[in-house]
Amino acid sequence: MKYKESESPSQIGVEITDVDISKPLNETDLNSIHSLWVKNSVAIFPGQKLSHDAYNNFAMQFGAFGKEPFLTTMKTQMHIVELRRKATEEASHFGGSWHSDWSFQSSPPSATMLHSKIVPPFGGDTLFTNSALAYDDLSADLKAKVEGLNGIHSAKLPYADDGFYALEGKERTMKIKSSKSANKQHHHPVVREHKDTKRKSLFVNPVYTVGIEGMTDMEAFTFLSEIFEHMTQDKYIYRHQWDADMLIMWDNRSVMHMAEGGYDGYERLMHRITIAGESPIKSL
């Protein structure tokens, strides 16, 4: 197994080669991959042809499967979500705003995996921003302010029965399940400590963080806008460009991400698996 860590200022990304992830990993390789992943937040495996069974088996080496409350999994694969956008599709591409996957859950997923099947000739990049490095760079005053705060997380903006996807009005290949249950809330620390690395990071995102405990809506909006502007500076961002048969896995505890469009007229197909995580740990 070989690897190359990114040299970009974002400190995100490690490309891992000379390993066949369609077969069970030995303990040494599995431990090495896990360590490289949590250190670099995004692990990239190019040139990996995976059957559904092989994909599931690879994922299970990193933990239990996560729950997909508002997305429909494949009929024959209860843990794989097919992210397909057809060439003729008019609906917007999925995941086009900064977010951390399912942060509204009581125990959000630790990892998300995405395996590319059909890649358009241009567009469709995935962007990641380093929320741990963004925390490190906060001023002393802002660090003091965010410590001890709790964010209010909910899926209501995209997935409620009066949310974006319910009201978008354009047919979508992906089957999204809007529901009143999306209005439920969970409160998580604004600054969380990573279970493995012990690094602190900002655990808020524009899609699912809908408020801050103890703040009015306007106070929370102003505060979060400042934090999001800081987190999405170019110096924290890694842009991932896809090839076919590439798997990437990212750490939702230390990055936000978003999908770009720009490939109208071409089909794009990805298969997604999430890995269950732990309840966010309050930083000490």
Range list of H helices, the chain: 27-40, 52-60, 131-136, 140-146, 156-159, 164-167, 217-231
What is the arithmetic mean of pLDDT over 257-281?
A: 96
The band of 88, judged by pLDDT with boundaries at 50, 70 and 90, is: very high
Instruction: Please name which of 199, 227, 200 lies closest in space to residue 212, comparing C-alpha atoms.
Output: 227
Q: Cα(201)–Cα(198) distance, rounded to whole angstroms?
A: 10
Q: Which residues contact 51 (CB under 8 A, 6 or more apart)?
A: 22
Q: Cα(102)–Cα(168) distance, rounded to whole angstroms?
A: 21
pLDDT in tens, 30-48: 999 999 999 999 999 999 9
Q: How many CB atoms lie within 10 A of CB 169?
A: 7
Phi, psi (deg, nearest 5) at residue 33:
-65, -45
Q: For the domain 2-278, what is the CATH code?
A: 3.60.130.10
**With 80 as the cut, is the pLDDT of residue 2 above it?**
yes
pLDDT at position 281 is: 78
Whole-number average pLDDT of the chain = 96
- Contact indicator for 151, 188 with CB cutoff of 8 Å: yes
pLDDT in tens, 176-225: 999 999 999 999 999 999 999 999 999 999 999 999 999 999 999 999 99
**With 80 as the cut, is the pLDDT of residue 282 above it?**
no
Q: Cα(259)–Cα(28) distance, rounded to whole angstroms?
A: 33
Range list of H helices, 124-281: 131-136, 140-146, 156-159, 164-167, 217-231
> Based on C-alpha coordinates, what's the Rg of the chain?
18
pLDDT at position 283 is: 65
Q: Give me the residue spans of the domains in the chain.
A: 2-278
155 exposure class (CB count in 10 Å sphere: 0-12, 13-18, 19+):
buried
pLDDT at position 253 is: 98
Q: Is 37 helix (H, G, I), strand (E, B) or coil?
A: helix
User: In Å, how far are 27, 34, 250 from 1, measured between CA atoms?
Assistant: 13, 13, 19
**With 80 as the cut, is the pLDDT of residue 164 above it?**
yes
Weakest mean pLDDT among 167-176, 206-215, 260-269: 167-176
pLDDT at position 114 is: 98
Q: Is 198 helix (H, G, I), strand (E, B) or coil?
A: coil
Q: 3-state secondary structure string, 254-278? A: CEEEEECCCCCCCCEEEEEEEECCC
- Contact indicator for 261, 124 with CB cutoff of 8 Å: yes
**With 80 as the cut, is the pLDDT of residue 284 above it?**
no
